[in-house]
Amino acid sequence: MRSRDDNRRMALCALLVAVGAVLWTLEEFIPRPLPWLKPGLANVATVLAMVIVGPVEAILVAVGRVLLGGLLLGRLGSPAFIISMSSAIVAGFAMIIVWKSKVPMSIYGISITGAVSHAVAQVFVAGLLIFSPSIAIKLLPLVVIPAIPAGILIAFLSRAVITRIKKHPNKDISQ
C-alpha cells in the first residue's frame, strides 16, 4: 500500500509533467531566429522536480513531458522527438551528477549544466540522425553559447517558483 507521501510525490510529478508538456508545446509557437534556438522553458519542470522531489523523479518528469509533448504535437517517433527525448535524458543525468557531486552547486549551476548538456546531446543525436558528426561538431558553438543564458533563465524561473512555494503555509510540498 502506498503511503500518503508517495501519493503526494506522484501527484507532484504528474503536475510537473503536465506543466512541462504545456510549456514545451507552447514554446513551439514562439518565433525564434534560428530553428533550434529555444529557451527550453519546459526544463523548469525538470529543475523543479530535481530540487523539490528528487533526481530520479526529475528524469521521470523529463521523459514524461517529452512523451506528452510529442503526443500533443503528433511527433512521437519523429527525428525531432528522438532528439528531444535523448537530450532530455542526457541533461537529466548531467544534472543528477552535478546535484550529487561533492562540490556544492546552486540551482544556477545545475540548470546551466542541464542546458549545455541538453544542447550538446541535441547536436550529437542530430548529427547521427540527420547530418554527419563532422557538421555536428561545427555546430556546437552555435548551440552551446545560447544554452548558457537559457540555463540562467530556467534557473531564475525555477528559483522564483520555489520562492513562491516557500511562502505558502505548507512549505514542504513534497510531503
Segment 30-49 mean pLDDT = 86
Whole-number average pLDDT of the chain: 89
The grid coordinates listed for 164 are 513562491
pLDDT band per the 50, 70, 90 thresholds, residue 172: low
Count of CB atoms situated within 10 Å of the CB of 93: 17
Residue 160 has pLDDT above 90, yes or no: yes
Segment 135-142 mean pLDDT = 89
Segment 96-123 mean pLDDT = 93
Q: Which domains does the chain have, with CATH numbers?
A: 4-167 (1.10.1760.20)
Q: What is the pLDDT of residues 12-32, one digit of tens each?
A: 999 999 999 999 888 888 888
Residue with cell 525555477: 158
Exposure string (b/e) for 112-136, b if CB count within 10 Å is 16 or more?
bbbbbbbbbbbbbbbbeeeeeeeeb
Measured CA to CA, the distance from residue 153 to residue 167 in angstroms comes to: 21
Measured CA to CA, the distance from residue 34 to residue 80 in angstroms comes to: 15
Measured CA to CA, the distance from residue 28 to residue 7 in angstroms comes to: 32
What is residue 67's predicted lDDT score, i.e. its pLDDT? Answer: 95
pLDDT band per the 50, 70, 90 thresholds, residue 175: very low
pLDDT band per the 50, 70, 90 thresholds, residue 116: very high
Measured CA to CA, the distance from residue 31 to residue 54 in angstroms comes to: 33
Segment 54-68 mean pLDDT = 95
